[in-house]
Structures are given as structure tokens and as C-alpha cells.
Amino acid sequence: MFSKISMAYTHTKAIKAILDYVEGIQYASLTPEVVTYVKIHFLDTLGAIFAGSKARCSKELLSLIKKWGGVKEATVLVYGYKTTLPFASWINSTMSRGFDYEPILMGGATHVPASIIPAALNLAEYAETVRKKRVTGKDLILSTVIGLDLNWRLRVAGTGRRKTGMGSGWLAETFSPIAIAALGGRLLGFTREKINYAMAIAFSQSCGHYGATVGKDGGLMAQLSQGLGTKNGILAVLLAEKGLKAAKDIIDGRWGLYVLFGGGSYDPKKLLGELGVRFDHLRPYIKRYPGCGALQAPLEATLRIAKRKDADLRPENISEIRVKMDALAYQLVAEGKGNSLPQEGDALWDCYYAVALGLKKKKVSIEDFTEEGIKKSGVSEIISKVRVICDEERKGGMNAEVEIETKDGYMISEKVENLDSLGWQELLEKFESCCDIAVRKLTRTRREKIIKAVEDLENLDSVSKLIKLATIN
């Protein structure tokens, strides 16, 4: 149904196609594969939130939110603190980026789940506790699909002199408010027009960019920015619920999204093609290690070398460590960095630290990226020997090459190309490691119940049950 409709739309009908989709899609149209994608996103994001509760940024933000107080509409996961819906979603989203360990979407969209999953959970909780509208697991899955799908499409569709996807300077959360407004409107049963108004109000709050998040001291802002995008989308839903309005033609109007953010044009196939039918871009990429996606391949290559037995890799015997990566990865995790220990937050975006850490410890854990872990890492001597090379010819993606030259004449190299996402069993192990460092203890029974609830999400009769499981009083 939607593929025929959406492919027929011209630019002037983009918002109509999107509203047709948001209003018309049904759970029955989702394939088992898409439902599985959503379950993976939920489990991995919950794990990231549990771990992220320990991050400095999360703790500082929670202290502010507690100081501000507010109506008890929604839950701060892990802590169990009740606050306003915008505040709860803000910190839950921020916690999901606490160690940059949540799932991402490929194809240039990246950190979409970190906004959409917390937003969907808290909106569903609000619907049940404030609006007295029961939200089932199927409702949650469907609204999440809408949010993930639109966030991905809105971000990658921009063309013209500046694209809007990865490397454009904009972030996933630049576009997440609009997607959250759509999923929230559908979840809360808004009329078509009210959903449009919510999306338009959200457009006026679209923000977030590389300028404040990429580079020295930008690590903590990356976490805050994720949550700010989520909060803004939630706020748009609440404002529209109260009857507030905004100019509705947010895509093709004189001051539409891609006029302001994308150089004046967009690819209608990416934005609207097979809308409601094609969801392969929602396939989760599950990170192996904490930190930016651009660190995954260099870390993997370094760890493979560190575990070899055919060379003396003691720090004093290493002459130089060379890391070759593509231009965008270099900008994100190497440019302007190196030679000294990073601060918490920035360490998640520092190739010098990550490679030195992998070589020194032969493994990498979440604790290594905490303030205490960084101080105890013992990698200062190795960091000074790391040289990161920007390879303009190298393709982007999960690719990198690491070479280590030793003083006794050895040259060891490892190349990683198209590093795979973790599988389900590995995800379960990762989830356990995230639970282990949460600020509050998750018992074995609670962990098993969370996993079971996510595995059986389509049969959940009330989303509030999942919220309670993810809250440790």
C-alpha cells in the first residue's frame, strides 16, 4: 500500500505521504524480522542506559533535574526517580549515550535509537499513568518503528551543497524531535492534523551539531545533546496535545527542513521510497566496545595484535603504532587529539587512548572509560607512540588498519574491514556487563525478567511492567 503511494508523491506532497504513513501503518504489516530488530534495539539500549547511569554526565544532569523537581509524570530508569515527561526522557536518552555503547543505525544515520527508545518508553508510560490509555507491547513496537524509520529517513535524505547524514555537521538528534513527535502523536491517538502540528513544533526545536560535540571537550556535550533532542520531541508532543499549532509544511515550505539543514534539496526516494514497506535500514548495529563507532575497527585490530604471541609488545619495545582510518573517522576520533590522557567523555572519542588501552590491557571494558579508569589505565607511555593517519582513499565504515613497529625489528599489522555487528548471544553477554556497573544492583532474577520481557515484547499487556523492571528502588 504505502510503497505505491509514496513513490508517486512529488516534493510538494512529502508531508502528506509521511502523515499517511504515520496514521495508516498497522502492527500486522510488520515482518517478524522488523519486530526482532526492535527487540534488539530495546535490549541493547536498556543495557546502555544501565551502564550510562554511572557516567559523570548522567549523574550531574540528574542532580539538576532533582533540584528543579516537577510533576511526577515519568520515570528516570535505574534510579526510579519520578519527574516531568520531558525531563525523564532527557536523562534516559543521555544515559543511553553515557559510554556511547548503545545500538546505532548504519547508512549515515548513527545514534537514532538513543533518542527513539527512551522517548517511546516514557511516552508509553505517560499514556498509561497520565492519560489512562493502556499501551501494549505491540503498540510500543509499532510506534518505535515509526520513530526509528522517520529519524533515519529525515537524517539521510538531504542532498544539495550539504547533505544531512553522517559527516554533514548535523547529528541524529537534529532530526529526532520530528520523528519523536510522529511516534508520540500516534501512540497517544492524536488526529492527523494534531500529529502534523506536533511535528511542526518539533521542527522549530531541531538542534544539535558537530560544532559543540566533536573535538576536545565535546564528549560530554555529545551525551547531553542526545537527550536534548529527545526532550525537544517530547515537549512538542505535549504542546500539540494542549492545542498549540505551527506552520505545517515542514518539508517543502519556503523555510522547510532541507532548505535550512540540507542545502535546499532532498532525495525523495530516501525520504519516502517504500514508506511503510522497507525497513532494512532499521537493522541494529551492536557495538563490541564502548566509544564512537569510528573506534570499533581500530580497537578490534589492536586487540587482535595484542593477543598474538609472536612478538615482544611491551611498551618499552614499541617504536611506533600507526593507525590508518578514513577521513571522517579521523575527524571524529583523532584530529586535535593524542599525547595525553583524555577526560571522561572525551575518551570515548579518542583513538589514541583506545588503541593504547587495547594494547596495554588486551581487553577493553566500560570501566576503562570512567574518570577513575582513565587515571588507572597506565597507558601514558604508549599514547605517545600512537600515530593516527588520515587515509583519504580508504572507504568509510567499520574499517581500519593498525601497524606496530618494534625496536627489535618486528612489524605487525592487522586490517579490519566491515567489522560485523554482535549477534544475539554476544548481545546477552554485553547486556550482563552493562548491568554489572549500573549505579544500582540488578539482581539475576531482574536481569532475566528484563530479557524475557523484551524477547516476548509483542505479548506484553502493559508497557509500565517493563518500566518497573528497569527501575531499581
Domain identity same for 305 and 396: yes
**Same structural domain, 261 and 307:** no
Whole-angstrom distance, CA of residue 143 vs CA of residue 198:
15
Phi, psi of 307 (to 5 degrees): -90, 0
Residue 425 falls within a domain, yes or no? no
* DSSP string of 135-155, one letter each residue: --HHHHHHHHHHHHHHHHHHH
DSSP character for 416?
E
Is residue 33 a contact partner of residue 148, using CB atoms and an 8 Å limit?
no
Same domain for 71 and 138: yes
Q: CB–CB of 53/79 below 8 Å? A: yes
Half-sphere exposure of 439 (CA within 13 A, CB side): 19
For residue 179, give every residue at least 6 positions away whose Cβ sits within 8 Å of its Cβ, in sequence order, or none.
112, 115, 116, 146, 147, 148, 149, 150, 151, 154, 233
Residue 328 is part of which domain span?
A: 293-416
> Do residues 332 and 298 lie in contact, with contact meaning Cβ atoms separated by under 8 Å?
no
* Judgement on whether residues 407 and 259 belong to the same structural domain of the protein: no
Residue 436 falls within a domain, yes or no? no
pLDDT of residue 4: 33
Radius of gyration of the chain (CA): 22
Taking the chain, what is the end-to-end CA distance rounded to the nearest angstrom? Answer: 46
Cα–Cα distance for residue pair 69/65, rounded to 1 Å? 6
Are 98 and 131 members of one domain? yes
Residue 432 falls inside a structural domain: no
- 409: CATH: 3.30.1330.120
Sequential pLDDT tens for the chain (473 residues) = 333 333 344 445 899 999 999 999 999 999 999 999 999 999 999 999 999 999 999 999 999 999 999 999 999 999 999 999 999 999 999 999 999 999 999 999 999 999 999 999 999 999 999 999 999 999 999 999 999 999 999 999 998 666 888 888 899 999 999 999 999 999 999 999 999 999 999 999 998 999 899 888 889 999 999 999 999 999 999 999 999 999 999 999 999 999 999 888 999 999 999 999 999 999 999 999 999 999 999 999 999 999 998 889 999 999 999 999 999 999 999 999 987 899 999 999 999 999 999 999 999 999 999 999 999 999 999 999 999 999 988 887 899 999 999 999 999 999 999 999 999 999 999 999 999 999 999 999 999 999 999 999 999 999 999 999 999 98
Mention every residue, 6+ apart, whose C-beta is less than 8 A from residue 221. Answer: 212, 213
CB 448 within 8 A of CB 341: no
Q: Are residues 233 and 366 in the same domain?
A: no
Instruction: Tell me, yes or no, whether 93 lies in a domain.
Output: yes
Domain count, the chain: 2
Torsion of CA 49, 53, 57, 59, to 10 degrees: 140
**Structural contact between residues 127 and 452, judged by C-beta atoms closer than 8 angstroms:** no
Are residue 282 and residue 299 in the same domain, yes or no? no
Q: Is residue 256 domain-shared with residue 401, that is, in the same domain?
A: no
Tell me if 29 is assigned to some domain: yes
Q: What SS3 state is found at 443?
A: coil
pLDDT at residue number 1: 33
| Whether 277 and 337 share a structural domain | no
- CA separation for the pair 110, 413 (Å, rounded): 29
73 and 192 fall within a common domain: yes
Check whether residue 153 and residue 15 sit in a common domain. yes
Same domain assignment for residues 213 and 314: no
| Position 333 in a domain | yes
**Residues 100, 344 contacting (CB under 8 angstroms):** no
Residue pair 117/96 in contact (Cβ under 8 Å)? The answer is: yes
DSSP secondary structure letter of residue 76: E
Q: Does residue 142 sit within a domain?
A: yes
Q: Using the structure block, give the residue that is written with the C-alpha cell 500486522.
A: 28
Q: What is the C-alpha separation between 6 and 68, in angstroms, rounded?
A: 44
Structural domain contains residue 446: no
Q: Are 229 and 177 within 8 A, CB to CB?
A: yes
Q: Are strands 284-285 and 318-325 parallel, antiparallel or unpaired?
A: unpaired
Domain C-terminal end among 389, 416, 443: 416
CA distance 9 to 417: 38
- Cα separation, 57 vs 60, whole angstroms: 5
Q: What CATH number is attached to the domain comprising 168?
A: 1.10.4100.10
Q: The cell 549477534 sits on which residue?
A: 423
